[in-house]
Amino acid sequence: GQSLEQPSEVTAVEGAIVQINCTYQTSGFYGLSWYQQHDGGAPTFLSYNALDGLEETGRFSSFLSRSDSYGYLLLQELQMKDSASYFCAVPPDNTDKLIFGTGTRLQVFP
Amino acid sequence: GAVVSQHPSWVICKSGTSVKIECRSLDFQATTMFWYRQFPKQSLMLMATSNEGSKATYEQGVEKDKFLINHASLTLSTLTVTSAHPEDSSFYICSGAQETQYFGPGTRLLVL
């Protein structure tokens, strides 16, 4: 089966940088995605890594190391609106469906 | 990005009744849609894959006779929670796939 582990909670202050880790165990690997979800809202896509290395999208970057079965989401210049839950996700097979990680709740303080 | 809607956004029902939730892709055709359930402060759990014109594929542990899924067109999938019980109270989210998954806003179900 598949499992994706994340820290349950991370706190930081405005303007800071925070890293949210994701370690995964999958039978096959077809890429790692990151989603943001505000309370009561829909998950929104943030970033995707198919190959090792860093992908940068504005203030958000995502890193992948397939040899370590590990990835992280890096959030820079934190803003209050970044307070949300963040999930890593993988397709369990070469289809469109996703298995989500345990989720990390980020709280940004002024 | 592509837009997915859900209706209703929230519903309260009595135990033993059935509730239907609609998921629509508004600006793209989704041959495949997915249904997830999310309990408070927990992750999204995939329930089933909804395939247009064919039977849904359910994840292990999900009762197919309790959670009826119909994907009658390329833009509409429905989830019916039959004989709902309080433990079915949850946040139900659908998504449509177009290169990536686009999620609906979710439906909050409360069973009394």
Tens of pLDDT, residues B36-48: 999 999 999 999 9
Res. A36: pLDDT tops 90: yes
Measured between CA atoms, how close is A49 to chain B, in angstroms? 12
Beta-carbon separation of A42 and B49 below 8 A: no
pLDDT at A56: 93
Other beta carbons less than 10 A from residue B29's beta carbon: 12
pLDDT per residue as tens digits for the range A39-51? 999 999 999 999 9
What band does B2 get if pLDDT is binned at 50, 70 and 90? confident
* Summary mean pLDDT of chain A: 94
What band does B97 get if pLDDT is binned at 50, 70 and 90? confident
Enumerate the residues of chain A whose CB falls inside 8 A of the CB of residue B93: 42-43
Res. A1: pLDDT tops 80: no
- Closest residue by Cα to residue B35 from B14, B12, B19, B57: B57
User: What per-residue string of b and e applies to B31-47 under the rule 16 or more CB within 10 Å gives b?
Assistant: bbbbbbbbeeeebbbbb
Enumerate the residues of chain A whose CB falls inside 8 A of the CB of residue B48: none
